[in-house]
Amino acid sequence: MTEVDEFDAAFFRRWLTRAAMVVDREAEHLAELDSAIGDADHGANLKRGFAAVTDVLEKDPPETPGAVLVAAGRQLISTVGGASGPLYGTLLRRTGKALGDGPSVTREELATALAAGVAAVAQLGGAQVGDKTMLDALTPAAEALGGSFAAARDAAERGALATVPLQARKGRASYLGERSIGHQDPGATSSALLIAALAEVAAA
């Protein structure tokens, strides 16, 4: 199947709606991962946040890809407690702002914008790849998105799995020291779900 060259606001609304469905389905699994090395609230927080995002996008649909992501990011920041709200909110808002106000964007433009969003997350959290955070999934995904949506999905999934043997160096999990080794990072896992939802909508 050939990939579409341009993606409009409706595509981005479908992505976030799909992401909300996936987060809802996987919320319990995310909570289990978070219970091992965090507060066990990652699944519930994201479920609530993405449900609020879909409500906002349905009630007042933004008309450009950038505006969709900015609105979603703003909603996550205001709805989700803990670290994940500001981090995911920053990811989407910064990506949306980088996309500008054009009516549609290419996959290459999205890859560049997503990289800007990931960089903003790194700056906010003071983390880098290898610290056992969402960046372990998002950074390779942004790099691979220039190739294809499927490549980005696969890179994110590999990145999330690669957090298992790592020792956490940022966030609440870092307090556990070596006891954080052997557990998959919930933030990297939810980030991989977000990218998987993107690839799924792109392939539909």
What is the phi/psi pair of residue 155, to 5°?
Answer: -65, -40
User: Rounded distance, CA 5 to CA 129, Å?
Assistant: 30
Residue 50 pLDDT: 97
pLDDT of residue 1: 38
Q: From start to end of 16-121, where are the E strands?
A: 104-105
Q: Is the pLDDT of residue 174 over 90?
A: no
- At 92, the amino acid letter reads L
Nearest 5°: phi and psi at 105?
-135, 160
Bridge partners of residue 7, in order along the sequence:
105
If you average pLDDT over residues 87-107, what whole number do you get? 97
Question: Rounded mean pLDDT of the chain?
Answer: 94
Task: Please report the pLDDT score of residue 88 as a whole number.
Answer: 97
Distance CA 36, CA 180 (A): 8
Contact partners, residue 69, CB within 8 Å, separation at least 6: 12, 92, 93, 95, 96, 99
pLDDT above 80 for 4: no
Q: Is residue 202 scored above 60 in pLDDT?
A: yes
Residue 5 has pLDDT above 70, yes or no: yes
Answer for the pair 72, 16: CB distance below 8 angstroms, yes or no: yes
38-50: per-residue pLDDT in tens?
Answer: 888 999 999 999 9
Distance (Å, rounded) from C-alpha 152 to C-alpha 40? Answer: 27
pLDDT tens digits, one per residue of 55-91:
999 999 999 999 999 999 999 999 987 788 999 999 9
From the centroid of its chain, how far is CA 148? 17
Whether 96 contacts 69, CB under 8 Å: yes
Q: Is 132 exposed, middle or buried (0-12, 13-18, 19+ CB in 10 A)?
A: buried
**pLDDT single digits (tens) 153-172:** 999 999 999 999 999 888 87
Q: Give the DSSP H or E segment for 98.
A: helix 84-99
Pick from 108, 112, 81: nearest CA to 6:
108
